Structure 1
Amino acid sequence: MAGNEPTATAARHHAEEPVARHGFQDADEVLPQYHIEAQTSLVERPLRSLKFGEAFAVLDSYGDIGVLPGPEGLYFQDTRYLSRLHFTIEDQRPLLLSSVMQDDNGALSVDMTTPDIRIDAHDESTIPREVIAIERTKFLFRGACYDRIGLRSYDSRERTLRVTLTFDADYRDLFEVRGMDRPVRGKRSVQVASDKEVQFRYVGLDDMVRTTAVHFGPKPRHIEPGKAEFQVHLKPGGRASLFVRIVCESHRAFTSAPAAEKVGEDAAAGLAAASGSNAARLPRDLPEGVAFARAYRDARRDLRAMTAGITTVISSNDQFNEAACRATADLYMLASRTPEGIYPFAGIPWYSTVFGRDGIITAMMALWIDPNFAKGVLRYLASTQAKAVDPAADAQPGKVLHETRRGEMAMLGEVPFRHYYGTIDGTPLFVMLAWEYYAITGDRETIARIWPALELALAWMNEYGDRDGDGFVEYARDTDKGLENQGWKDSHDSIFHADGQLAKGPIALCEVQGYVYAAKNGMGKLAAMLGHDALAERLGHEARSLRESFDKAFWNEEIGTYVLALDGEKRQCAVRSSNAGHALFTGIALPERAQAVAAQLLSKDGFNGWGVRTIARGEARYNPMSYHNGSIWPHDNAVIALGLARYDLKPEASRIFEGMFDTALYQDQKRLPELFCGFMRRRQRGPVSYPVACSPQAWAAAAPFAFLAACLGLELDHGRNRIRFRNPTLPNFLEAISIFNLKLGDSRVDLRLERHADDVTVKVLRRVGDAQVALLK
């Protein structure tokens, strides 16, 4: 993930875990760039996340914001537009009864009740607890947060209650919320705009004006900057509702300002228009209750339209069904509309924006569920591909975007991520995805549209990617503000030698060579499809040559697997890591190596019972609480499972799937997190959480579908018009699975797979079109 390594550690200590072999703790080092500072753990209290387009909200279980320190807030375009929203009755917080996300993540529903309330200290009159029910519903739609607080009396007496909402907007850039200091900021102001509206305004140093309009309905009894007070009368059995609508908007202060021109030139600005982010303005005389109802209706229609026609799965295991349902809901909550189609934003709270690598891998894993993710990712990344050399952005012609940010710090260049290209693997992964998308859909039109971008990507791999002409793609940053490490493990200390010394670049990562190999194979097939026979032949030769040279340079007999990387002097970083599993995923690993690689990944040092660690236990920098040096990432494990399945190691893939399913059972909402700690699994205990992990995270949400495809040996081949299950298996927790609306080209198929001892049968329930279904043992 994008140069965003957290430095917090988990609180729990496990005495049975060995410390790092060489004691590399880096205790005296300066904190790395773009770290996520943490004085509190996100695990301490459950948080709730909402998202629509470029806006997202992180809320506590009550639906409040900022009552306790943390990342809570209403965010828009990488800026916190609301930093506090606190709901009280008679100056007391209600008693929480339940707090649940709706099944489709469309809204947060909170049930509360009043505590014991003393109305008058002199006559000791009170309202006993549990006589007033409070139901709160919150959702986002088109740059606005909608909040309804409904009260219902079960009391025998008429009551008058004082309800207060306090609120604030700090306009902190997301990187400030994460811990970065800024010596100078823009100017903030607040005013009561009407008897039912308060407006915050921030004029940034980037000459952008950001506003937060807080609308109330009905009219508060008292309103002031940061506070609204209502008097609610409830008869016995009576009801009342309060509505809050918080609208986030931005515009240029001075159209002639250079910074504003820069914003206007930013291709990512199309996100706002595509998602309707500034379309929350309503007639001023429209009652807030009506606005709430209309927005709720339209938000649900939007979600139904986005998910129409997707592939769904139902299994014999109700708990897996819940996990799969949550994963699906998370994928589409994180999806944002762009001018090029839907794009899965990486994760909440730290990465709710476009990331190239994350979007590609998410789309790969979800390809059989919904190829529209892949289509949107391919078209968007083609439209934002680098066209020139720009050292400040780590960009060269043909390179695929790493991330884009729209906050003040990015616009001013205080962080390099306005339009940043510092990723070594995004470009070959982009080409990989193009072939995989075509193989399933046969969408020649999209491939023809992005073909120039694919050619540029290929040229980048051969020219800029291979800095020394040795046939391997390696990285070295061009700006001190850029990321030190530019693979998916981008922590500052994630690439090192067996003795713990950090590797010096240019660095050639194990998995990247596999991505290049798969990209050239896929590009060759696309070239042949388009009639570029000479190119297809050349790419086939280059891929075969790369596979041979990769094995010679990266295989290490002593550790029994492919090494983590080669440093700038072509010395092996002889470290056992999960990266070797990606060599299986891409097919660059020689068949005779697959069993040994799998054995290392699933050894006690590699596999902790929940999943495969990023770095094996016992390596010099192994730390189960680190971000990349011993933790466990669901998406990484899903890629490994797909690689094991490629070499027909289904029992090993199933073992990882079972560990990850067990992990989900211990998570809030059965949602796989971005990552968790790599401590060994212990009886009657769940996995250890990572303190600042994103949840939801797009490629973690897509992982269950990749695990399932791996175990089933699912292969979709548009060219042969064939759906094939190659030596399928089902893990122990699944007796049967039904797949509905599985798509291949224009065909649609419903299937049921059942486990009988060690055998799996496939039954076609429905078929529209002429796609063939085959079972290969």
Structure 2
Amino acid sequence: MRLAWRGPTMLVTDVRGELGRGVTSTGLWFRETRYLRTMRLLVNGRAPHLCALGGQDARTLDLVYVHPELEQFGGGGSGLARSEESLASDGLPHRSIDVRVSHAVQLDGLESRYVVANRSRRVARLVIDVALDCDWADIGDTIGDREAPVRIWARAVCDGSSLELRSTHPQLRYVTHVEAPGASAHQSGVRWTLELAPRDEVVLPLRVRAIDFEDALTGEGIAAREDALARWRASHVVVDTTGHGVEPLVIAAALEDLASLPLLEGRPREWLAPQAGLPIYPALFGRDALTTGWQASCVDGGAMLDAALARLGRLQCTRDDPRIDAQPGRIPQQVRRGPRARLGDGAFAVSYADVASPLMYVISLAQLFALRGDEALIRPHLDTARRILDWAHEQAQGGFLHYHTRSSDGPEHQGWKDSGGAMVHADGSSARSPIAACEIQGYWFAAQELLALVLWMLGRRGDARALWDSARDLKRRFHRAFWMEDESFYGLGIDREGRLLRSVTSNVGHCIASGIVAQPVIERVVERMFAPDLWSGWGFRTLSSAHPAYEPLSYHCGSVWSVESTTIALGLRRFGLDRRALQLADATLALASLYPGFRVPECVGGYAKDEMPHPGAYPRADLIQAWNVSAIPGLLHAMMGFFNVAPLDLLTIDPILPTCLDRVRVKGLRVGRGVIDLDVWRDRDGRSHFDVTRREGTLHVVRQPPPESISVGIAGRVRALVEGLLPS
């Protein structure tokens, strides 16, 4: 399939660039609702032959068709062997008509342009049809090879060149409006009747508008959103990389895709909050939006992250509702707007079935403050963060934060891994909730520690000390309860019977990044992660290949998630484990180079790099996953060694470039009130250096290893400071 998208609108076509020919998820989608199920081009009653299919950017698809196609060939090739003119049954010379189609996705629909050209020396009489229909299906009902279980029938209203398809559902009054100037509309589509002189061509426009009965976009609203998107894109850091492979192209493609992710929904401050992925998750998901936001913050100055915090904070739960796992203080796991959500189906509307998102909210808030240093920016979010930590303390059992669904429709597992069967004992048997997952304890630790630092900077010293002490106590208890000495690793979780899940998983990488891992064992844990049963060569398997439950193409029991690589790379850099961080960076960029458009799918196979040259992808994986896109700028952040302390007008840098990159130039990097340009390069000995080539504001830039690095002492820090001293 092929995709194009803009905000809440998405066009999904089959390999012919059409809708409705056997691929059930094709369609023109708006707010997770299919406003066109069929869109098929016919020339004189026949489907033309596709010659090209591509796109200029994320919102466009461009196609070229010819008509009529040859039916008999000569000379051993795909054309004719003789010079006589060959005519089709409609009297047209074969391949004499070409149709160039351009689809441009709009915030509220689709604009298409059909350029029909007669390349022959004869007059061409043509009937151009675009067949159209719709069913307003929910995106969740079209995954796989099945038709939507609930059909919403359309009533067609024709008026000259316009066609309006209206839903007959009493509660879902959707409308698909089609304008086709010069055409005649009928119940099944629109038709142009043409007579083209030799070498003549004509442009046929088609406009489809999705009209939401609850909240239709107005022209003014669309213009405001487009303006906000353009201003945001113009503010992005410019990254120019050079290297000896395709990796610079991987980075450029990710930065371009990143600019297409905002959902442009909700209130104006919330417009830049990103959607989770396409084509399956074109909606707001809590941890996806937060992860995408913080990974992208070095590119957009935290604007996407601020938007995600604003929208999720506004939707923070204030009531107890077991049906959707809602409790006061929790942050949404997902917010859906398809037909099922409109009809009040709890499993498809707002759900709070995730204990990772609330803690990530607090972590992200602290990161935004470190980047921007603006108390006024984060103050509206502080009460949200406090309520989240109050909820966490109230839910803790035996000193750890557990999850347990109370919803009949909710996921059994609500940590980082939320699929059925993801949490397993060493013998392969499934663990039952309540479960205290190891990474959740790490997030809880980091949320308390980082918010303590924020409150300290804001002068709330008593609250800060209480959170800091609570985090330290959790870290000590975590090591005692989760450590597996024989594995040099931490267990996956603790089940409802108090048993440790002695499984080796990638979850522990999150623990490294969070800082909850005890310092004396960090290096042992990292080396265990890079053992061949967990490290595939492309990234970390979600479950050790030596485990009885390992399946390389399972969702959470053997696959590799690119987003985890960035989280873990930041953890490795945090503690000065640079050699392993470089190894991970090289592998992550190499993985992206294997896929069309350098877009790593949702998750890929756990096959070892020396076992298969390509890891494939999880069946029906999302083709474009927001946090996989933002993982590339997040990885750049890790490689640059940025440590933001905006409240003190300070940025420390400790760059290390992977072998695939020779130079990285960054223009317009914003930290607090300062803006700088950087030039980073790697010398022949593999050491990385940098120079500040432009500076605005009062930002101080110094070279320093991360504060918690275990690989450098006082002498190393002094040497780095002296070598990195920059002229004022």
- Give the aligned partner of residue 257 of structure 1: none
- Give the aligned partner of residue 45 of structure 2: 91
Residues 1:368 and 2:298 aligned together = yes
Q: How many residues align?
A: 686
Paired with 2:308 and 2:227, the residues of 1 have a C-alpha distance of 23
Paired with 1:125 and 1:140, the residues of 2 have a C-alpha distance of 34
Could you tell me whether the CA contact under 8 Å between 1:61 and 1:110 is conserved in 2? no
**1:238-257 alignment, distance < 5 Å:** 238-251=200-213
The alpha carbon displacement at 1:92 in A equals 3.4
Listed one character per residue, the Cα deviations across residues 386-415 of structure 1 (whole Å, up to 9, x for unaligned) are: 011111110111111111112222233434
SS in 1 for 2:554: coil
- Give the aligned partner of residue 125 of structure 2: 160
The alpha carbon displacement at 1:485 in A equals 0.6
Residues 1:434 and 2:373 aligned together = no
Paired with 1:486 and 1:510, the residues of 2 have a C-alpha distance of 12
Residue 103 of structure 2, aligned match among 125, 138, 154: 138
- Give the aligned partner of residue 311 of structure 1: 237
Residue 474 of structure 1, aligned match among 375, 397, 402: 402
Paired with 1:73 and 1:363, the residues of 2 have a C-alpha distance of 28
Paired with 1:108 and 1:595, the residues of 2 have a C-alpha distance of 49
TM-score, normalization: structure 1? 0.84
The alpha carbon displacement at 1:710 in A equals 1.6
The alpha carbon displacement at 1:511 in A equals 0.7
Distance 1:97 1:357, change over 3 A: same
Greater mean deviation of Cα atoms: 472-481 or 410-419: 410-419
**1:33-52 alignment, distance < 5 Å:** 47-52=1-6
Amino acid at match of 1:706: G
Residue 101 of structure 1, aligned match among 45, 48, 55: 55
Residue 570 of structure 1, aligned match among 470, 482, 498: 498
**1:210-229 alignment, distance < 5 Å:** 210-220=174-184, 223-229=185-191
Distance 1:521 1:145, change over 3 A: same
SS in 2 for 1:344: coil
Residues 1:491 and 2:419 aligned together = yes
Bigger RCO of structures 1 and 2 (CA < 8 A, at least 6 apart): 1
The alpha carbon displacement at 1:673 in A equals 1.6
Paired with 1:775 and 1:82, the residues of 2 have a C-alpha distance of 55
- Give the aligned partner of residue 344 of structure 1: 274
Distance 1:766 1:613, change over 3 A: same
Unaligned segments of structure 2, at least 5 residues: 72-84, 705-719, 721-728
The alpha carbon displacement at 1:140 in A equals 2.0
Q: Percent identity?
A: 27
**1:681-692 alignment, distance < 5 Å:** 681-682=609-610, 685-692=613-620
Distance 1:124 1:176, change over 3 A: closer
- Give the aligned partner of residue 726 of structure 2: none
- Give the aligned partner of residue 292 of structure 1: none
Residue 603 of structure 2, aligned match among 675, 693, 703: 675
Amino acid at match of 1:459: D
Distance 1:763 1:115, change over 3 A: farther
The alpha carbon displacement at 1:473 in A equals 0.9
- Give the aligned partner of residue 20 of structure 1: none
Could you tell me whether the CA contact under 8 Å between 1:400 and 1:427 is conserved in 2? yes
Residues 1:402 and 2:333 aligned together = yes
SS in 2 for 1:606: coil
SS in 1 for 2:329: coil
Amino acid at match of 1:59: T
Could you tell me whether the CA contact under 8 Å between 2:30 and 2:109 is conserved in 1? no
Unaligned segments of structure 1, at least 5 residues: 1-46, 253-271, 283-294
Amino acid at match of 2:313: A
Distance 1:620 1:768, change over 3 A: same
The alpha carbon displacement at 1:324 in A equals 2.2
Residue 323 of structure 1, aligned match among 250, 255, 258: 250
Paired with 1:185 and 1:695, the residues of 2 have a C-alpha distance of 26
SS in 2 for 1:729: coil
The alpha carbon displacement at 1:93 in A equals 3.1
- Give the aligned partner of residue 192 of structure 2: 230
Could you tell me whether the CA contact under 8 Å between 1:405 and 1:419 is conserved in 2? yes
Distance 1:134 1:303, change over 3 A: farther
Residues 1:745 and 2:672 aligned together = yes
Could you tell me whether the CA contact under 8 Å between 1:350 and 1:694 is conserved in 2? yes
Listed one character per residue, the Cα deviations across residues 736-770 of structure 1 (whole Å, up to 9, x for unaligned) are: 11111110112111111111122001011211112
The alpha carbon displacement at 1:520 in A equals 0.4
Could you tell me whether the CA contact under 8 Å between 1:143 and 1:280 is conserved in 2? no
- Give the aligned partner of residue 713 of structure 2: none
Amino acid at match of 2:201: R
Residues 1:278 and 2:205 aligned together = no
Amino acid at match of 2:665: S
Residue 334 of structure 1, aligned match among 255, 261, 264: 261
The alpha carbon displacement at 1:49 in A equals 1.9
Residue 662 of structure 2, aligned match among 709, 714, 735: 735
Amino acid at match of 2:669: L
Amino acid at match of 1:228: V
The alpha carbon displacement at 1:332 in A equals 2.6
Residue 33 of structure 2, aligned match among 79, 86, 93: 79
Could you tell me whether the CA contact under 8 Å between 2:135 and 2:151 is conserved in 1? no
Greater mean deviation of Cα atoms: 61-70 or 537-546: 61-70
SS in 1 for 2:51: strand
The alpha carbon displacement at 1:622 in A equals 0.6
- Give the aligned partner of residue 542 of structure 2: 614
Residue 419 of structure 1, aligned match among 344, 350, 360: 350
SS in 2 for 1:333: coil
- Give the aligned partner of residue 357 of structure 1: 287
- Give the aligned partner of residue 16 of structure 1: none
The alpha carbon displacement at 1:117 in A equals 6.2
Amino acid at match of 1:384: L
- Give the aligned partner of residue 714 of structure 2: none
Paired with 1:485 and 1:597, the residues of 2 have a C-alpha distance of 25
The alpha carbon displacement at 1:139 in A equals 1.8
Amino acid at match of 1:639: T
The alpha carbon displacement at 1:647 in A equals 1.4
The CA RMSD measured in Å over matched residues stands at 2.5
Residue 657 of structure 1, aligned match among 579, 585, 599: 585
**1:528-547 alignment, distance < 5 Å:** 528-547=456-475
SS in 2 for 1:217: coil
Residues 1:504 and 2:432 aligned together = yes
Paired with 2:148 and 2:233, the residues of 1 have a C-alpha distance of 45
The alpha carbon displacement at 1:552 in A equals 0.9
Greater mean deviation of Cα atoms: 369-378 or 178-187: 178-187
Distance 1:129 1:628, change over 3 A: farther
Could you tell me whether the CA contact under 8 Å between 1:114 and 1:130 is conserved in 2? yes
Residues 1:195 and 2:149 aligned together = no
Amino acid at match of 1:278: L
SS in 1 for 2:309: helix
**1:169-184 alignment, distance < 5 Å:** 169-178=134-143
Listed one character per residue, the Cα deviations across residues 508-567 of structure 1 (whole Å, up to 9, x for unaligned) are: 111111111111011112222332221111011001111111111111112221111111
The alpha carbon displacement at 1:595 in A equals 1.5
SS in 2 for 1:208: coil
Residues 1:596 and 2:527 aligned together = no
SS in 2 for 1:198: strand
SS in 1 for 2:440: helix
The alpha carbon displacement at 1:664 in A equals 1.6
The alpha carbon displacement at 1:300 in A equals 7.1
Could you tell me whether the CA contact under 8 Å between 1:75 and 1:81 is conserved in 2? yes
Greater mean deviation of Cα atoms: 751-760 or 135-144: 135-144
Paired with 1:122 and 1:504, the residues of 2 have a C-alpha distance of 69
The alpha carbon displacement at 1:179 in A equals 6.0
SS in 1 for 2:407: coil
The alpha carbon displacement at 1:216 in A equals 1.3
Amino acid at match of 1:357: R
TM-score, normalization: structure 2? 0.89
